[in-house]
Structure 1
């Protein structure tokens, strides 16, 4: 393990390698060309980019930690409240951003650093609550999102910002179909290579769940439902392994291994 960027203390500073400072990075995504990463620097309220070749950190959008609330704009004139996750589109020319506090989804164009709201549309109230982890479908038409505050998984059309519920509705635990399934603050989602299966970090249930998107069927893939007196972490078979609030997932390119 080596350090790409960032120091041993929190702060806000662009720079090379350990001279750069971050404050609570909550989302990291590698661009499709494998040349750089984009990160959501949550408490600094900015989006940063880091090329692997130089480790030079630059702020590409957001006004910084002293600025408040959300606003469309270009570069540092755009404002975020709590940018949580980032994911580039397949072409690598745009970045989708989820705002955990405002229930907002934004699109950042890398050609001109412009930020435009994707959801909610116009003056409408957001139908999302604490949106967190996102995964784009390979055809670039949809984002599958962990709508954490609403305890559900949703699909968002990237051309219109329209939100459709796929599974889940109220807090709890239940394997089932569509709205009958129950989650407890899901925080991340990854898609299988064919886009038919979503794997979900069901954080407050201490489980990894599996959602077959065409049928909206939810099952438990691994973990043990949390029960008092205390949680623990244990390796083992899918039904005996224990997680301590899983918050992030990654899937190998062949879809065979999850991290």
Structure 2
């Protein structure tokens, strides 16, 4: 049997025995123990573990043991960039710039950005990766009037960080809509998934604290690598403000009781 085939079988065995059903951060046995368990050379185990790392099922760093990871990236109900989300998971984010165009806003883009039809905008399309694995395709439109010269900037890193450091503008709120789609051949090739695979399509408008519409974004997220969480309240009820602790109130003064 060829070494590559043996390594694949060991990879499958490790996944079935130590990864499937395991909690994130569960520690795998050492290479030596796995080699003894499966009766193969340590080089074969090393190749099998490399496959699992490439598929983002395990991770290890700093010479530590391999650990199980949740392959899905969860978007919590708070505003954060792809870069921030990936770094929080211990992944290395990166971007491949696919297209950068200076163009005239069509009716839809103009409406969503709150600008005149035909106004100059910058359209940026990027492939977002985590540990070199494709995760999402992002396409954004931004007003040239707000961000002059953006098309000539380095767009391989965090776009939100660039907007804040270069232009002094920060996205404060997202208005986002998410739907399920099946990817076509072009997007499937970029995302390294099968044609027709499930994906999440998100349209969002980024707004600053002044209420200005800064960006229009349309993104395709791999359905097997992303999920989104939301916070909802019953009709007619209101919970505590996000990020604010819920302290008891003095009924006579109507003020929060401070500890």
TM-score by length of 2: 0.23
More helix by share: 2
TM-score (norm 1): 0.23
Higher relative contact order (CA 8 A, sep 6+): 2
Larger radius of gyration: 2
Structure with the higher fraction of residues in strand conformation? 1
